[in-house]
Amino acid sequence: MKAVFATAEYEARLAKTRQAMAAAGIETLIVTDPSNMNWLTGYNGWSFYVHQAVIVPPEGAPHWWGRPMDAVGAGLTTWLSPDSIHSYPDLYVQNPGKHPYDTMVALLSDLGLSAGPLGVEMDNYYFSALCLETLRKGLPDTPIKDATGLVNWQRAVKSDTELSLMRQAAAITAAMHARIRALAEPGMRKCDLIAEVYATGLRGANGVGGDYPAIVPLAPSGREAAAAHLTWDDRPLKKGEGTFFEISGVVRRYHAPICRSLFFGAPPPAMVEAEKAVLEGLEVGLDAARPGTTCGAVAEAFFAVLAKHGVVKESRAGYAVGLSYPPDWGERTMSLRRGDPTVLQEKMTLHFMPAIWTGDWGLETTETFVVTPGGGVPLGDVPRALVVK
């Protein structure tokens, strides 16, 4: 169970990251987002609930730092040599009297990296205010800069190997939706349906097994589908209600979310009209998603279609997606949003998410796509039409 990619690919990623570090005036980077840790080293473990990091020095191999029992996993999943894997005593784990970043301060000093400037990912889920406070207390003379998103942006353009993994993930997503269409019926407990979704996602497709998703299946029904991020319960599916399914297959931590909706009975006329706008807008937006076009321009093309149909949507229409860990499968960089100046490049991957939520129902029909010279090409193959049963 070693790193998924060839060492040369990790070295290329490291070189890109160092260029970005130099441009930001950062000498040493402390990476705590597990997606970025994985991208740089291959590390893959459910250990992000405790403090861990990858330290990127100005030259040489990165250093992995974390809990002793997880250092074993670093040795099994990364391309790093044993002398680049470091751990802190387990006494520092969730102990109110101690903080692991005290040992980070000592490690940086031992490695000759404490002078800085240091870069830290200040605005992510895995780096707390106390982490920053501990670093500043332990290194009072060291400049510390915000490096939020620095590595994330280097991940935006995918390699051919990454695209292959995302296509495999999309095939699993398609199998999950096929299972929903085959089994869903009024009276079926939603928890039983989601169990089938999970089973299909983990069994995989085309001989490739699946991994756990960064976001659990989102599957609200009826009035609850007006809320974007509700999950499921044990109540039965009902006639006269619609349900959307926001799900993703996962392969080696790479995601390809695709959302679809179903309705038992006759869907409301407003939902039917909204679907027409969304399907047309999807095609227009995908066609616009070419290298050299901005994310904002793609969003404008899509929202113009909605406006033509009289459909209102206030939220963004998509975001970058790929490698991720809970609680989010987005890359937290560009958005398909009016005014986003990000220039699309070939082999970028985004989740085009033109969901519509009204006061009474929700409709989700989305695609994960790759930017190509001919426009955005969906990675999966799932019928887009609202499933009416």
Domains and CATH numbers, the chain: 7-154 (3.40.350.10), 160-388 (3.90.230.10)
- Per-residue pLDDT band for 116 (boundaries 50, 70, 90) equals confident
Give mean pLDDT, residues 99-112. Answer: 97
**Distance, CA of 47 to CA of 42 (rounded, Å):** 14
Give mean pLDDT, residues 203-207. Answer: 98
pLDDT surpassing 90 at residue 205: yes
pLDDT of residue 261: 98
144: its two tokens:
């510390």
Give tens-digit pLDDT for 249-270. 999 999 999 999 999 999 999 9
User: Any idea of the CA torsion for 106, 108, 113, 117, to the nearest 10 degrees?
Assistant: -100
Strands 63-66 and 53-56: antiparallel
- Per-residue pLDDT band for 1 (boundaries 50, 70, 90) equals low
**Distance, CA of 226 to CA of 229 (rounded, Å):** 9
pLDDT surpassing 70 at residue 383: yes
pLDDT of residue 253: 98
113's CB contacts (< 8 A; 6+ apart) are 27, 28, 55, 57
Percent of the chain scored above 70 by pLDDT? 100
User: SS3 for the chain, per residue?
Assistant: CCCCCCHHHHHHHHHHHHHHHHHCCCCEEEECCHHHHHHHHCCCCCCCCCCCEEEECCCCCCEEEECHHHHHHHHHHCCCCHHHEEECCHHHCCCCCCCCHHHHHHHHHHCCCCCCCEEECCCCCCCCHHHHHHHHHHCCCCCEEECCCHHHHHCCECCHHHHHHHHHHHHHHHHHHHHHHHHCCCCCEHHHHHHHHHHHHHHCECCECCCCCCCCCECCEHHHHHCCCCCCCCCECCCCCEEEEEEEEEECCEEEEEEEEEECCCCCHHHHHHHHHHHHHHHHHHHHCCCCCEHHHHHHHHHHHHHHHCCCCCCCCEEEECECCCCCCEEEEEECCCCCCCECCCCEEEEECCCEECCCCEECCCEEEEEECCEEEECCCCCCCCEEC
Give mean pLDDT, residues 53-68. Answer: 97
Identify whether the C-beta of residue 246 lies closer than 8 Å to the C-beta of residue 364.
yes
pLDDT surpassing 80 at residue 302: yes
